[in-house]
Structure 1
């Protein structure tokens, strides 16, 4: 477990102005630049009155499993896992990743069209991810007879596997949007473009959830803290640079900046009507295809 120090707090977990923050809350989010950018001010104790955090870094396919096992107080997860965890966790209305022009890609070794994936093997980073739901909805519309075998593998193995012919196509996310050409690969489809053109809604990618057992007051404080941390990052982008690059897995700084610019936007500060409509729209369509359990009418409501 990686725990960030919190300058400005006393040993008993209170901040200097006397507000008790108690035991640090356990939180897990990815080392990707958008998450470290968003949480930098909060994780480093620069938000007055915000709860202290005990931070663990884990890729989102791992945090999805953590949420299903109820292992952390707060988690960054895929929106696709919400139908399995919303009894125990509440969706926070901020801090996550939605957007436009930022969807997953389907990559192949040679140019082609969707029909060529009929019966083919496709590598995906997870079967409980927004990317996978978008992929299956796209394939239901455009791949006659459906794709063939689905192979789950770590996201950093997918592009080499496509390049080396281990699989016919790969579903990629995040910074792969900016680097797939270096593997000699071709973009068969942009799943975000398909989603946006068929729904008019932004693409729901990653959500921040917190345990309902923390109570309404704490949940509201968490939402306020997440929103304040986002705004602090926007107000002083240089303050987060060291934290972002420390965990960016040797990513080029220019790619890290592109990543942040794409995934941290107005929906990160507040889901708003369009954000909630996008989440419910994705999960409703996925449930109709039998990919996820159906949501209850108030499942997404925030206390």
Structure 2
């Protein structure tokens, strides 16, 4: 599998006050910086479309909605004109549709509180944007009733930091200060997001990558050893793992502190009598990132080929492990320079 390096250096802290703690929130091709106290309250959908609700610990402050555009010829100006006819009061449509560039996005429209048709949404503001490189439409619904400070932070700092991943490149994912990267063509199929244990399964046709982080590592290793974590899958699997060879060590040089991962290779097969039907090569690895005290795990499964070797999947496993926690490395490094 051809693996390209992800685009990691495009998040900007320029709009944020010096010294303010921020965290990265990234999902389905878009990324944004938020105050460190904000957390996702609910996530639905995948790479093509979905919603993500964000709160500040007291209330919901914003909802991000995205839609991946498949059409080659897409006119965002025409789309927003139709959209404003549906949601905006007539006298505000023209001034709302002034296009302004915001990071990798072009702002298509801004509707302030009281400019929507529905009276029930008088305390709601909406920002619309489109990224040509990512072919992504983004709608940010802001709870204007959350207070002037929250709305100001969203407009001048959060939205100003919006970035997008190219449509044909790797996708960045980040929640609860835990981040992953999926190769081009992979979409999220399953997720388990808990404080201390975050896992995601990415799929591209018959290939899957399972990425997981458990923290703190010291407590996790008290529960079970590295090899036990290596065999622990966060999502139920119909195919059972059959090892080929012994567990081995593989260097991962892209972590904060380079480390050695414990890796295994083999096959995933259905139970007897279907063990030779739709087999999968399988490679997995686990490593402790001592710089931030986390256990990082990755497993790659792909269609079985006679004469093929599961060792080739270790490159994907090593890449997946090395790209985890990109947000803490990049955002933290930029914040330190300010």
| Greater per-residue strand proportion | 2
Shorter chain as denominator, the TM-score bin is: under 0.3
Q: TM-score, normalised by structure 2?
A: 0.21
Larger Rg: 2
